[in-house]
Amino acid sequence: MNNSILKGSILVALGASSYGMLTTFVKMAYAEGYTAYEVTFSQMLLGLIGLIILNFLFVKEKQNYIEDTKTKSILKLMAAGTSLGLTSIFYYLAVKYIPVSIGIVLLMQSVWMGVLFEGIMAKKKPGLNKIMAVVVILIGTVLATNILMDSIELDWRGVGWGLLAAVSYTVTIYTSNTLALHLHSFRRSLWMMLGGTIIIAIISAPFLLEQFNLEIFKKWGLLLALFGTILPPILFTSGMPKINVGLGAIISSVELPVAVLLAYFLLDEVVNIYQWMGILIILGSVILMNMPKLFKSKK
């Protein structure tokens, strides 16, 4: 059992790390003149193609597939997938104006937003540990975004897009864990990705008609689709069943330091001691929030 938990932990950590790499690649694409719309559209379209291939190769429940993919279920998953697409475009627009290290911290606000959203939807007051974790996250955010330093000027366009990305990501997480759970995870991901691709195509169309370099597909689109759309579902669906929910949530938070470290080494972004303290505080709050789940026996 220990080997199984270790293997599951490694797979989940690799999946979260894949997500953490994305924004550094996006910044590098921006440096070469590509736009947020080119980057997002290419990632979503190639990701959709990748998921179609994965479903063809690995999802063999043809009878269940015919039975379960009724129009209503498909439309629900596609509607939920629009939040997936919006998360990408909002987040990529955010890091156009602010450093990756601050963008990922803003995206992590989805942790406390998720607590609020869950409380509203379930009509249930969150426990003391979750309330404490939310307070700690907000304190950590103040430090991690460095807004107390007079020498730091944040572009509020980036902050606004970043917070919108967090809201959209919160909806994505909630719907991913509640809709059509009887379907294979690859099948669910496929329909959600289709919805996300459609909404991104609609939003990006006016900008892509003005400027669209097809080179984005083979240079950055494929890389972003691989690390943002194709690998994470495989790694998470393989690793999560081997560990409990609390441990999974804690390990998934490795996305935050991976994103910051990659930006530090590849983009030469400056991250001061206060920001590192804030990041550690946010990670600590994720652990605090999931402590009760961590010690629950896996069934």
Residue with tokens 């559209």: 41
276 found inside a domain: yes
Give the CA diameter of the chain: 62
Count of structural domains, the chain: 1
Cα 71 to Cα 236: distance, rounded to the nearest angstrom: 27
Buried b (16+ CB within 10 A) or exposed e, 126-162: beeebeebbebbeebbebbbbeeeeeeebeeebbebb
Average pLDDT over residues 127-149: 81
Range of weakest confidence among 25-29, 170-174, 260-264: 170-174
Q: Which two tokens stand for residue 194?
A: 């289709």
7 found inside a domain: yes
258 found inside a domain: yes
The per-residue pLDDT for 294 is 61
* Contact between residue 294 and residue 244 where contact means Cβ atoms under 8 Å apart: yes
210 found inside a domain: yes
58-84: per-residue pLDDT in tens?
Answer: 887 654 544 545 677 888 889 988 998
The per-residue pLDDT for 58 is 82
Cα 3 to Cα 246: distance, rounded to the nearest angstrom: 18
Confidence of residue 133 (pLDDT cuts 50, 70, 90): confident
> Apex CA 276: angle with CA 271 and CA 277, to 5°?
145
Q: Which two tokens stand for residue 234?
A: 């495989």
What is the value of pTM for the model shown?
0.86
299 found inside a domain: no
5-36: per-residue pLDDT in tens?
Answer: 888 888 888 988 998 899 999 999 999 999 99
Q: Which two tokens stand for residue 21?
A: 């790499």
162 found inside a domain: yes
280 found inside a domain: yes
Residues with Cβ within 8 Å of 101's Cβ and at least 6 positions away in sequence, in order, are 144, 259, 260, 263, 264, 269, 271, 275, 279
53 versus 188: the higher-pLDDT residue is 53
Confidence of residue 297 (pLDDT cuts 50, 70, 90): very low
Share of residues in the chain with pLDDT > 90 (%): 39
The per-residue pLDDT for 148 is 66
Range of the domain at 250: 2-294
283 found inside a domain: yes
269 has pLDDT over 80 = yes
* Contact between residue 190 and residue 81 where contact means Cβ atoms under 8 Å apart: no
* Contact between residue 23 and residue 108 where contact means Cβ atoms under 8 Å apart: no
φ/ψ of 241, rounded to 5, equals -65, -20
Q: What ranges in the chain are assigned the alpha helix state H?
A: 2-31, 36-58, 62-68, 71-97, 100-107, 110-122, 128-144, 156-176, 185-210, 215-216, 222-225, 231-239, 245-252, 255-266, 273-294
The per-residue pLDDT for 135 is 86
Average pLDDT over residues 171-179: 76
